Amino acid sequence: MSAAADRSPQAERRDEGLRFYQTGTFAVGGRLLAEHQRTVQSQPRRPSSLTKGHRACQGCGEALGARYALDAALRAAGGRLIAANATGCLEVFSSPYPESSWQLPWIHSLFANAPAVASGIAAALRAKGREDVRVVGQGGDGGTVDIGLACLSGMFERHDDVLYICYDNQAYMNTGVQRSAATPPGARTATTEPLGGHPGNDFGQGKSAPLIALAHEIPYVATATVAELHDLEAKVARAMEIRGPRYLHLLVPCPLGWGSEPSETILIARLAKESGLFPVFEAIDGAIHAVAKIRRQVPVREYLRRQRRYAHLFADGGREDVIDRLQAAADRNIVRFGLLEGSAPLAGDLLGAPAPGELDDLSGAQAP
């Protein structure tokens, strides 16, 4: 599963040939792939941690993302994994009493406290000397970025041995699409109703949970989408090799809240990344280590126009000014994270190590 697994030069050459065909990097599996190139999802007997019969909407990105991520984590943990879940769609659609879709030990407590519950489980396991059992905490963007942030920050700074996964669908979906601090500018939600005829979320608000996690300098922070399974599985596998707090931020389109076609969930996640609006990166010990390059760049318009939450930007003559600002935000990401082939993340940004000059400035400022 890990793309970084050792390979012989012959295997490398064969893969080169295979890439022409289609497989290896993008499709889920393929009859011609070597075992090490196959995803967990392609296995005939994958764990399916979130099994069928759940009540998520048609085409739910969160349901898909949870199975992708937890199956990979289960595989990495040798099947010994406990999950603590925040309140939200993922919890509600998977566990209407007395049914459960979970095929691993799973607990739900409150909206705000999933990171703390996970921390507690990790502490208990440590006390019992059961370090073979691993822990995942998970929740939606509301449960993570807003109400659960204090618990999450505590989990990070205490260095608890938990992988926390945020399923980011950019609003409070379960209660009817209210704005969260992860709702992007320009997007309409039930709580960004027109004040002066502009129903989109404001610019200049909200926060980035991955960058907040990064600022804690925890051992592992990564973003991913449901559109790139190989990347996602490799990141989960890498995170599971590490002990201590780890954070994975997974973009999961929501057909209901975004007003998109259920069949286009993966396409939309892909366009979010390919437009630069959602940077996909990986950071180790507080510094960006790798970014997923844009493969077939698209203007943000291609991403926006498929979602009714942005319909007001295209209706009645359109709001080119807003679209331009969103494009500018994507362009900024592209430069800041070095998303184009051949470019590198900006040095001196908060994400990487400070540039040498900046270091001097800092030490100068500290001198009396």
Q: Enumerate binding residues for another protein (CB under 8 A).
A: 16-23, 25-32, 39, 41-42, 44, 48, 50-56, 58-61, 63-64, 67, 94, 97-101, 229, 255, 261-267, 270, 296
- CA 217, 360, 336: angle at the middle one, nearest 5? 50
Considering only the stretches 28-36, 101-109, 162-170, 189-197, report the one whose residues sit in contact with Mg ion under the rule CB under 5 A.
162-170
Listed in sequence order, the residues at least 6 apart from 88 whose beta carbon sits closer than 8 Å to its beta carbon are 111, 139, 140, 142, 143, 167, 172, 173, 174
Q: Annotate each residue in 6-45 with x if it binds ligand TPP (CB under 6 A) or - if it does not, as one string.
A: ----------------------------------------
Of 165, 254, 170, nearest to 207 (Cα)? 170
Long-range Cβ contacts of 361-367 (<8 Å, 24+ apart) = none
- Other residues' Cβ atoms within 10 Å of the Cβ of residue 241: 10
From candidates 50, 112, 222, 254, binder to ligand SF4 by CB under 6 A: 254
Which residue's CB is nearer to another protein, number 93 or number 156? Answer: 93
From candidates 257, 338, 345, 352, binder to ligand SF4 by CB under 6 A: 257
Spatial contact of 43 and 56, defined as CB atoms under 8 Å apart: no
Q: Closest approach of Cβ 129 to ligand SF4, in Å?
A: 38
Considering only the stretches 9-17, 81-89, 118-126, 238-246, report the one whose residues sit in contact with ligand TPP under the rule CB under 6 A.
81-89
Of 162, 157, 137, nearest to 87 (Cα)? 137
Q: Closest approach of Cβ 211 to Mg ion, in Å?
A: 18
- Coil vs helix vs strand at 81: strand
Q: Annotate each residue in 177-216 with x if it binds ligand TPP (CB under 6 A) or - if it does not, as one string.
A: ---x------------------------------------
From candidates 48, 100, 175, 297, binder to ligand TPP by CB under 6 A: 175
Which residue's CB is nearer to ligand SF4, number 62 or number 71? Answer: 62
67 binds, among ligand SF4, another protein, ligand TPP, none (CB under 5 to 8 A by kind): another protein
Considering only the stretches 129-137, 189-197, 252-260, 351-359, report the one whose residues sit in contact with ligand SF4 under the rule CB under 6 A.
252-260
Which residue's CB is nearer to ligand TPP, number 65 or number 345? Answer: 65
Of 156, 153, 177, nearest to 245 (Cα)? 156
Q: What does 238-288 look like in DSSP terms, one character per residue?
A: HHHHS-S-EEEEEE---HHHHT--GGGHHHHHHHHHHTTSS--EEEETTEE
175 binds, among Mg ion, ligand TPP, ligand SF4, none (CB under 5 to 8 A by kind): ligand TPP
Residue 169 sits in the site that holds Mg ion (CB under 5 A): yes
CA distance 274 to 149: 28
225 binds, among ligand SF4, Mg ion, another protein, none (CB under 5 to 8 A by kind): none
Spatial contact of 125 and 185, defined as CB atoms under 8 Å apart: no
Six-digit token string for 254: 């929501």
Spatial contact of 13 and 44, defined as CB atoms under 8 Å apart: no
From candidates 141, 160, 161, 282, binder to Mg ion by CB under 5 A: 141
- Coil vs helix vs strand at 94: helix
Listed in sequence order, the residues at least 6 apart from 236 whose beta carbon sits closer than 8 Å to its beta carbon are 69, 72, 73, 76, 163, 248
Which residue's CB is nearer to ligand SF4, number 62 or number 274? Answer: 62
Six-digit token string for 354: 């400070």
Q: Which of residues 31-60 bind ligand SF4 (CB under 6 A)?
A: 56-57, 60
- List residues binding ligand SF4 (CB under 6 A): 56-57, 60, 62, 89, 93, 169, 173-174, 254-257
